[in-house]
Amino acid sequence: MMRAGLALLVLAACQTLPPTPQAPYLLVLGSAQDGGLPQIGCREAVCERARIDENLRRRVTSLALVDPRDGRRWLFDASPDLAEQVELVERVAPRTHRATSRPPLFDGVFLTHAHVGHYAGLAQLGREIYGARELPVWCSERMGAFLRSNGPWSLLVDTRAIELCRIAPRAPVELGPGLSVDALRVPHRDEFSDTLAFVVRGPGRSVAYLPDIDKWERWDVPLEDFLASVDLALVDGTFFADGEVPGRSMAEIPHPFISETLARLSAAPLELRRKVVFTHLNHTNPAADPRSDAARAIRASGMRVARDGEVLALGED
- The SS3 call for residue 251 is helix
Handedness of CA 112, 64, 181, 176 (dihedral sign): positive
What separation in angstroms does the CA of 124 have from each of 6, 38, 244, 299, 300?
31, 21, 33, 37, 40
The mean pLDDT value for 84-93 works out to 95
DSSP string, 256-295: --HHHHHHHTTTS-HHHHTTEEEE-B-TT-GGGSTTSHHH
Residues 6+ apart with CB under 8 A from 51: 38, 57
Phi and psi (nearest 5°) for 236? -60, 115
Handedness of CA 273, 28, 104, 68 (dihedral sign): negative
- What is the homologous superfamily of the domain 25-313 according to CATH? Ribonuclease Z/Hydroxyacylglutathione hydrolase-like (3.60.15.10)
Query: What does pTM read for this prediction?
Result: 0.91
pLDDT, residue 220, reads: 95
d(Cα 26, Cα 309) in Å, to the nearest integer? Answer: 10
pLDDT, residue 189, reads: 87
Q: Which secondary structure element, helix H or strand E, spans residue 29, and what is its range?
A: strand 25-30
Tell me which amino acid residue 313 is.
Answer: A
198-237 tens-digit pLDDT = 999 999 999 999 999 999 999 999 999 999 999 999 999 9
Taking the domains of the chain in order of start, what are their residue ranges? Answer: 25-313
d(Cα 210, Cα 50) in Å, to the nearest integer? Answer: 25
Residue 99 has pLDDT above 80, yes or no: no
d(Cα 25, Cα 28) in Å, to the nearest integer? Answer: 10
32-42 tens-digit pLDDT = 999 999 999 98
Mean pLDDT, the chain, integer: 90
Give the confidence band of 98 by pLDDT, cuts at 50, 70, 90: low
